[in-house]
Amino acid sequence: MLPKILVVDDTAANLVAMRRLLAHSGAELFEARSGNEALALCLDHEFALILLDVNMPDMDGFEVAALLGEAEQLRDTPIIFVTAAYVDDINRLKGYRSGAVDYIAKPINDVILQSKVRVFLELYAARMKLREAMAELAERNEELTREIAERKLIEAMVRHQASHDPLTGLPNRILFRDRLHGAIQRANRHYVRFALACIDIDGFKGVNDSHGHAAGDALLQEIAARLSAHLRSNDTVARLGGDEFALVLEELDDSRTALQLCEKLCAALSEPYSLRVNGEPVEVRVGASIGIAPYRPNGHADVDEQLLQAADHAMYEAKRGGKNRCVLAG
């Protein structure tokens, strides 16, 4: 697209002369016979250069230039004043303060006019290239920002998948170990109590055998939801695999508090489950054997393993004692 030049002069003969002189400038010419007409054109077009007659009725060139300078989108448009008057220092200063970048005296010297116009068209072309480059850079920055955000999202998803059970969305064994280790450190540092609980679902195999693995998966999801709903926000529930779950119960007053919490969980887990399996309703009932091991600091490096073993033994004791019950490790 050709750059645009606006010629402002109230004399028709001067406009014709400018049209002839700039016919081969490589720019599209626009003409205005008054300051108001020039301002209106400037609102509709972006000009590479304005050739502005100083002496015009109603609104002279100084006023037009000053008004153009007040508009943010127009103030960078270069203005060359064209004047038949003697250009003294006072008038030059007034023109420059109004926003002019240069003067051309009448009668116009063809070579000087064409030379100056060529310079400003080259400057305009360079400015347009810079604007395009800046726009491309801004677009690329936006793309990079989106790519970084997408990459962070993917990385977060990968980290989540690596540390969470895909079926239930609960922390998996890896994250559970990390949470358990953190609970031990907090207990040692702040002298607070916590307990580890191991849960094995009673009757889960029967649901799988009677209704299929789809029912078993749906049941595990419901069990995970009940466990999450009945625990406190600072507790951790994890799926270790199969129908085995584990809890980290933090900030406990004593061992009895952990036992009471688990007894409530046991009762909640034994309530009937209404499942949808392949579009069909299925109601099942299961129980839970829960072994609880309160944390007792002993300074050993493998204290988390000892705690897991204690909770696991208590859980098997619950199973041997009739299932669907809680046992506190001795």
Residues that are catalytic: 243
Q: Bridge partners of 83?
A: 105
Nearest to 204 by CA among 244, 164, 172: 244
Q: Distance between CA 212 and CA 205 in Å, rounded?
A: 10
Q: E-strand spans in 74-192? A: 79-83, 100-105
Q: Distance between CA 10 and CA 36 in Å, rounded?
A: 11
Q: Distance between CA 301 and CA 309 in Å, rounded?
A: 15
Written as one letter, the residue type at 222 is E
Contact 181/192 with Cβ under 8 angstroms?
no
Q: E-strand spans in the chain? A: 4-8, 28-32, 49-53, 79-83, 100-105, 193-202, 236-241, 244-252, 273-277, 280-284, 287-294, 326-328
Query: Which three-class secondary structure state does DSSP give residue 168?
Result: coil
In which residue are the tokens 């304005």 written?
Answer: 50
Cβ neighbourhood burial of 148 (10 Å; 0-12, 13-18, 19+): exposed
